[in-house]
Amino acid sequence: MQHKVIINDLGLIDYKKAWDIQEKLFKEIIDFKIANKELYNNKQKNSNNYFLFCEHPHVYTLGKNGSENNLLINNKTLQSKNISFYKINRGGDITYHGPGQIVGYPIFDIENFSIGIKDYIYKLEEIIILTLKEYNIYAERLKGAAGVWINTPDKKKISKICAIGVRASRGVTMHGFAFNVNTNLEFFNYINPCGFTDISVTSLEKELHKKINIDEVKKKLIEKLSFVFN
């Protein structure tokens, strides 16, 4: 069975504005599901699924189980560097968003896809892994740590190229992935990315030694999204 996903590219947008849009769609789907259950089976319909693309101005976000100790600069430094900071309601620890990074927010009713949250995260990782394969980059998962990773040239260390953090309630998801394409990696120096103190972070630009066309990458991500989620 094929599923419909409504895709919207928000462009460069303030983090809080994008968060508000997510929350609105998230509530819409949950309210629809609650009302739907009151109907006879032959009257019930599938809820909508949304996928938002965007980039954000410089911002750090801290997941609900994260530690503020993983932010390595104080408020004064944040202000001087024009970086926003939000404590948010997703899983995971601290991460960075900024220009040149593709952020994907799927607001999915995963019951439409007959999957649970673990399979959902696996599929998000698979979208990134398959997209990187288009650029001849081999990527992998790391046990116990959501996201997508690649080997450094000496194979002695791995670098994170995509962070994943989600929230789910009543089978509906929000938040999603942050895929480093042309990201300024300097901003990761001011945090312990995802709570790790011993990892490096990379980008598509760094691995390929050239600027990458963001729109081209988005098209590839949509192709892989369509394939992975049918």
d(CA 97, CA 183): 9
Q: Kindly tell me if the per-residue pLDDT of 198 is higher than 80.
A: no
85 inside domain: yes
Domain assignment of residue 175, yes or no: yes
Residue 86 φ then ψ, to 5°: -135, 135
Q: Under a CB-based contact definition with an 8 Å cutoff, are residues 161 and 202 in contact?
A: yes
Q: Which of 194, 204, 221, 222 is catalytic?
A: 194
Give how many domains the chain has, as a whole number. Answer: 1
Write the burial class of residue 125 (CB in 10 Å: 0-12 exposed, 13-18 middle, 19+ buried).
Answer: buried
Averaged confidence pLDDT in the chain: 92
Assess if residue 72 is contained within a domain.
yes
CA distances from 163 to 10, 81, 148, 177, 201 (A): 20, 22, 7, 6, 10
Neighbours of 211 (CB within 10 A): 11
Region 91-116: what's the mean pLDDT? 95
Secondary-structure percent of the chain, ordered helix, strand, coil, rounded to 5:
35, 30, 35
- Quote the DSSP letter at residue 47: P
Residue 118, in any domain of the structure:
yes
Burial degree of 33 (CB within 10 A; 0-12, 13-18, 19+): middle
* Residue 54 is among the residues annotated as catalytic for this protein: no
Residue 120 is part of a domain; what is its CATH number?
Answer: 3.30.930.10
pTM over 0.85: yes
Which residue range forms the structural domain that includes residue 183? 6-228
- The two three-digit tokens of residue 163, written as one number: 């962070």
In a domain, 1, yes or no: no
Range in 79-88, 139-148, 154-163, 206-215 the model is least confident about? 154-163
Length of the chain: 230
**Would you state the torsion angle of the CA atoms of residues 43, 44, 45, 46, taken in this order, to the nearest 10 degrees?**
-170
pLDDT tens-place string over residues 139-195: 999 888 889 999 755 555 789 999 999 999 999 999 999 999 999 999 999 998 877
> Residue 199 has what pLDDT?
79
